[in-house]
Amino acid sequence: MNDRVQTFPGAAGTGGVASQPSAVLRNTYWLLALSLVPTVLGAWVGVSTGILNTMGAGLSMIVFLGGAFGLMYAIEKTKNSATGVYVLLAFTFFMGLMLSRMVGQVLGFRNGGSLVMTAFGGTALIFLVMATLATTIKRDLSSMGKFLTVGAVILFFAFIVNFFLQSSALMLTLLVLCLGVFSAFMLYDIKRVIDGGETNYISATLAIYLDMYNVFQSLLALLGIFGGERD
């Protein structure tokens, strides 16, 4: 048997490839759960130190884009070894750190804590629904990939454009679209693992993590806009 065929609980010193879709999915869920720990830690460090507040908005964007794409490239290069797990966890810490500015702003509301927990609960609920749908839908969803990718790219550039325009109406529209696109992406990515289209659990974890991250971020922003209570 290929020595790269392992399960996540024993992943140290192994690659990220499993032999069966069920094993890939199980390993993905394990690693996805683990990835939430450095994300929360990164957000806590960011909120506690206010490190992002020392950067201007432009510099923060450059750091985010450079760090995120650099670490994703490193994950892709190391995904077939145990190193890939550690790089992925470093990536999730970085993403939590980058999320800390928004989390800090929401926590500034009188009901900020409950808004953060509501966003977390909403993200978990969407994940549960999409995971359930992925296991019950029998049809092939691979054709969704190209349309969702195009939608995500358009959203990415639209957010950059709105960074300069600072349009509240456009921001609300983009947040709602982002919530819809990445919820659908979550269904697509989980279904792809179930159908055997993704055999590397590190790559699968990265994809689903990004889906959840964008869903959580969109929910948190919308809750802060519509539900934030000032003192």
70-118 tens-digit pLDDT: 999 999 999 999 999 999 999 999 999 999 999 999 999 999 999 999 9
Nearest CA to 226 out of 146, 106, 63 is that of 106
In the structure, what pLDDT confidence band is assigned to residue 190 with cuts at 50, 70 and 90? very high
Q: Is residue 3 part of a domain?
A: no
What tokens appear for 163 in the block?
Answer: 């960074």
> Average pLDDT of the chain?
90
- pTM, two decimals, is 0.89
Q: Where are the beta strands (DSSP E) in the chain?
A: none
Q: Does residue 25 contact residue 13 with C-beta atoms inside 8 Å?
A: no
User: What are the CA-CA distances from residue 52 to residues 22, 96, 100, 228 (Å)?
Assistant: 40, 12, 8, 21
The residue range of the domain holding 152 is 8-227
Q: Is residue 21 part of a domain?
A: yes
Q: Is residue 134 part of a domain?
A: yes
18: left (phi over 0), alpha (psi -120 to 50) or beta: beta
What percent of the chain lies above the pLDDT cut of 90?
77
133: left (phi over 0), alpha (psi -120 to 50) or beta: alpha
More confident residue, 36 or 14: 36
Q: Is residue 1 part of a domain?
A: no
- Locus of tokens 């809750």: 223
Q: In total, how many domains does the chain have? A: 1
Q: Does residue 40 contact residue 116 with C-beta atoms inside 8 Å?
A: no
Q: Is residue 28 part of a domain?
A: yes
Q: Is residue 2 part of a domain?
A: no
**Tell me: the pLDDT tens digits for 24-40?**
999 999 999 999 999 99
Task: Report the C-alpha gap between 209 and 91 in whole angstroms.
Answer: 10
Q: What is the pLDDT of residue 3?
A: 35
In the structure, what pLDDT confidence band is assigned to residue 230 with cuts at 50, 70 and 90? confident
Q: Which residues pair with 5 in a beta bridge?
A: 17
- Locus of tokens 């069920």: 22
Contacts of residue 128, Cβ cutoff 8 Å, sequence gap at least 6: none
What tokens appear for 211 in the block?
Answer: 């889906």
Q: What number of CA atoms fall less than 13 Å from residue 1's CA on the CB side?
A: 8
